[in-house]
Amino acid sequence: MPVRQRPSHEGFVSAYTDLAKDVREAGLLGRRHLYYWTEITVAVLSFAGIWVVFAVLGDSWFQLLLAGALGVVVTQFGFLGHDAAHRQMFDSAAWNAWTARILAGVFAGLSFSWWRAKHSRHHQGPNRAGYDPDIAPGAISFTPDVIAARTGLSGWLAHRQGWFFFPLLALEGANLHVSSVRATLDRSSTEPWRRLEAFLVVTRLTAYVAVLVWFLPLGLAAAFLATQMAVFGFCLGAAFAPAHKGMPIVPATMKLDFFRRQVMVSRNVHGSPLVDFALGGLNYQIEHHLFPNMPRPNLKRARPLVRAHCERAGIPYTEVGLVHSYALVVGYLNNVGLRARDPFDCPLAGRWR
């Protein structure tokens, strides 16, 4: 039986070039203006509608249902801001930037510039140790070295962090707001439009809390805020988590071409239109990382092309169901400390060394 030769670095570059050509010829990089204007309109009307019902409902614990709904709607603004930041919506870079700035700042209370800088590093080196901010040491540890350095209560929690991961996501909304405020108020920052973003973010958050305290008793206002923030943080975090958590961590010194670097550490989640909505299109993570400026509704259409090219190039294309993806995330996080010292030391990685 003949031995199949492993494709060369140039071969993978050529494979991506061929894939990009097929994607362009299929029209999958074309703008989807009607889709995005519809999504923005529905989100804005939903946001306004919730506040109308809020005013009518008044002092009632049923307000917490509205708080949960608001958390879901704000998550959708987060997804729309993400798409605009990736220049998926419009041909004009300025239109995309200002749309992202307004959607993120006014409706979600987040800094566009802060998030763009952080997210750009993630796309340049997904799951790369010491580079990708999404796997930097924090409340959750992603590499054995970080786990080994934690002792006492911190160490005990680190070895069981998978079980705490999803509850911790409820705090992610507050964390994102705090990080945004800090970034916009940082006078040493050279980010353009920092002062405007500071005004948008701070004004939005201040007005939000003021409205709650004005219309509701203090206890109910606090419960509304906590519920909305928890739902927002959980929904957004649960959408991003399956994409890379539990996939191989790439050592800082490892060299990989763009095609393998994006596919091998990304995971797709298949499912229904409801999954597509809940995850904001991020369930097509492989396609998104290969073509970051591809409009969200085209990612699903690009999937068969990408999968076929990966198969021909011999690059594993990982796709699982939603529940399975979360089980993989929890299992990985609970066992980070038991893994090899080289976080990319696995049969899959060894094949490409």
Q: What are the sequence ranges of the domains in the chain?
A: 9-350
Cβ atoms of 158 and 150 within 8 Å: the answer is: yes
Q: Is the pLDDT of residue 345 over 80?
A: no
* Placement of tokens 């005990």 in the chain: 156
Mean pLDDT, the chain, integer: 90
Q: How do residues 187-212 score in pLDDT, each as one tens digit?
A: 888 888 889 999 999 999 999 999 99
Q: Is the pLDDT of residue 46 over 50?
A: yes
Cα 319 to the center of its chain, rounded Å:
17
Cβ burial of 115 (10 Å; 0-12, 13-18, 19+) is: buried
Q: Tell me the H-state helices in 257-346.
A: 258-263, 273-278, 285-290, 296-313, 322-334
What pLDDT score was predicted for residue 338?
58
The more confidently predicted of residues 148 and 298 is: 298
Distances (CA, A) of 212 to 48, 59, 223, 312, 326: 15, 11, 10, 56, 34
Percent of the chain with pLDDT strictly greater than 70: 92
d(CA 142, CA 119): 18
What pLDDT score was predicted for residue 346?
46
Alpha carbons within 13 angstroms on the beta-carbon side of residue 79 total: 29
List of residues 6+ apart from 206 with CB closer than 8 A: none
d(CA 138, CA 115): 17
Quick one: pLDDT band at residue 11, thresholds 50, 70, 90? low
Which of 246, 263, 353 is CA-nearest to residue 308? 263
Neighbours of 231 (CB within 10 A): 22
Distances (CA, A) of 146 to 165, 279, 321: 16, 29, 29
Cβ burial of 210 (10 Å; 0-12, 13-18, 19+) is: exposed
